[in-house]
Amino acid sequence: MKPAPIERPMLPFRVHFNDPAIQPFDIDACDAAEVRERMKKQRPEQSINKIKIVRENF
């Protein structure tokens, strides 16, 4: 029997894009790698400048 996968907590992230005309985008994910993967699917035409955890929600 396989052990159940470990649940990782969801964290609030803010994605900043290289184009200053594009507003930062908030997304919940487990880590920055997941955010990058999801952003490639949701917004493939926009390049990411940085990804930060939104600390004011804690």
pLDDT at 52: 95
Note the pLDDT tens digit of each residue in 1-57.
766 667 888 999 999 999 999 999 999 999 999 999 999 999 999 999 999 999 875
pLDDT at 47: 94
Q: Output the pTM of the full model.
A: 0.78
Asked if the model's pLDDT at residue 58 lies above 60, the reply is no
**For the purposes of burial, counting CB atoms within 10 Å of the CB of 35, is it exposed (0-12), middle (13-18) or buried (19 or more)?**
buried
pLDDT at 16: 96
Quick one: DSSP state of residue 31? S
